[in-house]
Chains A and B, each alone.
Chain A
């Protein structure tokens, strides 16, 4: 029996420690891990809880991230509650196996600490790894600070393990900005947190020898398509379960989460859409700009990156006053518009107001996102509104050194 951990009502934790405490409280059976900066302390923490008797589980050290996720799949198929952590290159090496986990419908929780992808090698935070996972069939939830990394890690188990979902869940937080920044965190007591997550209910577990099953079967053109369609439906249908879990969490803690977070959108004339810790800075910038210059700025932030909240993004942007939206992608777009820009634009196209939409690439490799820069971008959106058309390139780069870089011009006038 695991020992209870002595927790204060308020702790000063960074995002990594917060996530590791959530993993402990969920009483994970198995962590198979190959640690990588900046997510190392999450699995390091789990290892120390196991060694010190705070958790009754197994820490499996493996030779690569590919093996780490493979180990997690084995343990989850056997019937255990399983989690691990990774970042960047480790995430990339896991990529092949991520699709196995989701296709096999194993509710593993992967706590991803977002970090840039090489080359050039870089340990700092951007969303390249998060974006790399976006077609992998996992649910992807995004924490903007350390408290949320704790809260949403607990929610991740409850969402993924729901019998109508049965899908793996990634819980993302920003490398260093969130993972290594300590702040006030209000944890739940061990028994309260565990009760919220609930006992693990295995499905077709391999260790049930009375009922032999096959996991990871092969299907060709006869059934593969139906499996993938069913998996997609499960992802789309998980939206209501995510809403329910967030509602239950709010009832327990008073802390409210939504698949799409909106800030000051009721009367917004311009809006920023972005992900991760930058959301908090953008909200601060928007509040200041409203006070300083009276520009009505709002912020929209997908909390749930997958399933992509097409429904709620459309709702958030269907505000009569809204004229210009800037989507900000913290991942190198690789010869396209930013992915968030593309997805938000598609949702906004079906609104009646159809605001102007532009794209900023920003923060690659951990480049600081300044409050002043957020305000400059907001004012630029206001300039589009005043001119009645997009006055800049549609895609631009924020905080980039050297000559200004931009692509494409509007054809609307």
Chain B
């Protein structure tokens, strides 16, 4: 079982990203869950989304999880959210920031004993450059592919294209570029 917790703001596409990841993974014969903790959330409010991935049908319906991966797709949430909540000794962190890995970790005490497990990528700048607006949800998946080695980049891009097929070609191309850049740039 692989468990992922997303830290996001409502409107940044964490739910769409979690469902997109789930859709790609489901095509490979695995079982997935993608869900979020929201209700009366307003755009901009801090929220969590979640993924579970396993070879067997997933029957765990508990909301809380002990994540293997934590995605922080809003830069400020790395400072204000409890991003290491319920973590494990092997939990990996992928954090969106314009700061270098060293500068970011220096400012977040909770990450200072997790240097090897912390990965930094500027999904905000990447999405601004490629998609044209701050939409960090797809680039973070590129970084995730690099960190987790779950799938080859090309395989993931091909399947992600299918998930995004209802969008105009221009948007799909921009997302592919964003995923590729994040894959290459994550440190």
Q: Chain A residues in contact with chain B, CB under 8 A?
A: 8, 10-12, 14, 37, 123-124, 145, 176-178, 180-184, 277-278, 280-281, 283-284, 368-371
Cβ 8 A contact of B61, one of A8, A182, A278: A278
Closest to B31 in A: A184
Q: Describe A's contact surface by its main secondary structure.
A: loop
A145 to B52, CA, bound (A): 15
Q: Given that A181-B35, A184-B31 are contacting pairs, would A370 and B22 also be in contact in the complex, using a CB cutoff of 8 Å?
A: no
B24 (CB) vs chain A CBs: closest residue: A12
Is A183's CB under 8 angstroms from B60's CB?
Answer: no
Residues of B within 8 Å of A10, CB to CB, are 26-27
Q: CB-nearest residue of chain A relative to B18? A: A182
Residue among B32, B40, B59, B64 making CB contact with A182, cutoff 8 Å: B32
Q: How far is the CB of B41 from chain A (nearest CB, A)?
A: 11
When the two chains form their complex, are residues B60 and A281 in contact, meaning their CB atoms are under 8 A apart? yes
CA distance A200 to B40 in the complex (A): 39
CB distance from B54 to the nearest CB of A (A): 10
Chain B residue with the shortest CB-CB distance to A366: B39
Residues of chain B from 23 to 82 with CB closer than 8 A to chain A in the complex: 23, 26-27, 31-36, 39-40, 57-64
Asked if B62 and A281 sit within 8 Å, CB to CB, the answer is: yes
- The CA of A118 and the CA of B61, in the complex, are separated in Å by 24
Check A176 against B59 for contact (C-beta < 8 Å). Answer: no
10 closest cross-chain pairs (CB), A and B:
A280-B59, A181-B35, A182-B34, A277-B61, A12-B23, A12-B22, A281-B61, A368-B63, A123-B39, A284-B59
Given contacts A182-B22, A184-B32, are A177 and B39 in contact (CB under 8 A)?
A: no
Q: How far is the CB of A285 from chain B (nearest CB, A)?
A: 9
Is there an interface contact between A184 and B26, defined as CB atoms closer than 8 Å?
A: yes
> In the bound complex, what is the Cα–Cα distance between A371 and B63 (angstroms)?
10
B27 engages A370 (CB within 8 Å): no
Q: Could you show 8 A-B contacts with beta carbons less than 8 Å apart?
A: A12-B32, A123-B39, A123-B40, A177-B63, A182-B19, A277-B61, A284-B59, A369-B62
